[in-house]
Structure 1
Amino acid sequence: MPTRVITFGTFDVFHVGHVNILTRAHDLGDHLTVGISTDELNFSKKGRYPIYRQEHRLEIVRSLDCVSEVFYEHSLDLKREYLLEHRADILVMGDDWKGRFDEFGDICEVVYLPRTADISTTDIIQAIREAEL
């Protein structure tokens, strides 16, 4: 039986940190499913819409060899349902979320991977804005 890994994220302004977490998540199993936060979900979490539209973010992530399947994450409240629907054996999240998803340990293993140092979408967006001034 293949080991099914799942992770979630916005994956806006795609960068090497995104590549790193997705390849490391893939290495934990045989099948990697990625939930892409919708534009509306991102706005509700961060108070801003992503730079790239959800359709573009989904296609970028879908194009990676390490990704087996992608879907839209519409609500944080449906995380348990997404894990069950996609038959996740392992949930992978960045370690900036450490402890936040431990409640799902009853249905799958929860793994927090270290984020790539010195890179974040927020910092990239800020640097671009400052360069425009």
Structure 2
Amino acid sequence: MSRVVITFGTFDVFHLGHLRILQRARELGTRLVVGVSTDALSYSKKGRLPIYSESERMEIISSVKYVDDVFSEESLDKKSEYIRVHNAQLLVMGDDWYGKFDEIKHLCEVVYLARTPSISTTAIIEKMKN
């Protein structure tokens, strides 16, 4: 039986934490669909543009062996729509989002996975600046 898992992220400056969450998400289903934040959405969330462009980030994520399909996430408010369009049975998010998508539980199961300790894109960017 097919089980579609969906997850979302900016995936800027791709690192081991990104790889691990994609791997763990894929292990929970038979297909993994990933929404990559558009440049505009990334700017609205973080107050800065990503280091890598939307098209570059989508190409990086689509090349990861755990990922079956990639699409542009244009709005945080469209999670329900994306879940329906991709027929997802499970939403996986990092635990930094814990509880923020519980209202979607009527559409699909929601799982929050622990982030990889001591790894963050923001910390990597700050380290590069210094």
Shift of 1:65: 1.0
Q: Root-mean-square deviation (CA), in Å?
A: 0.5
SS at 2:12 equivalent = coil
Structure 2 letter corresponding to 1:59? E
Q: Show CA shifts across 1:37-57 (max 9, x none).
A: 000000011110000000000
Shift of 1:71: 0.1
Match of 1:90 in 2: 90
TM-score by length of 1: 0.97
Shift of 1:77: 1.1
Match of 1:25 in 2: 25
Match of 1:34 in 2: 34
Structure 1 letter corresponding to 2:25? A
Structure 2 letter corresponding to 1:8? F
Cα separation, 1, equivalents of 2:78 and 2:11 = 19
Cα separation, 1, equivalents of 2:114 and 2:93 = 9
The percentage of aligned residue pairs carrying the same residue is 58
SS at 1:106 equivalent = coil
Matched, 1:55 2:55: yes
SS at 2:14 equivalent = coil
Count of residue pairs the alignment pairs up: 130
Matched, 1:118 2:99: no
The 5 Å alignment of 1:72-87 reads 72-87=72-87
Shift of 1:12: 0.3
Cα separation, 1, equivalents of 2:117 and 2:107 = 30
Structure 2 letter corresponding to 1:89? Q
Gaps of 5+ in 2: none
Q: Show CA shifts across 1:41-80 (max 9, x none).
A: 0001111000000000000000011100000000111111
Match of 1:15 in 2: 15
Cα separation, 2, equivalents of 1:91 and 1:80 = 10
Shift of 1:105: 0.3
Cα separation, 2, equivalents of 1:84 and 1:102 = 16
Cα separation, 1, equivalents of 2:66 and 2:87 = 18
Shift of 1:115: 0.1
The 5 Å alignment of 1:64-79 reads 64-79=64-79
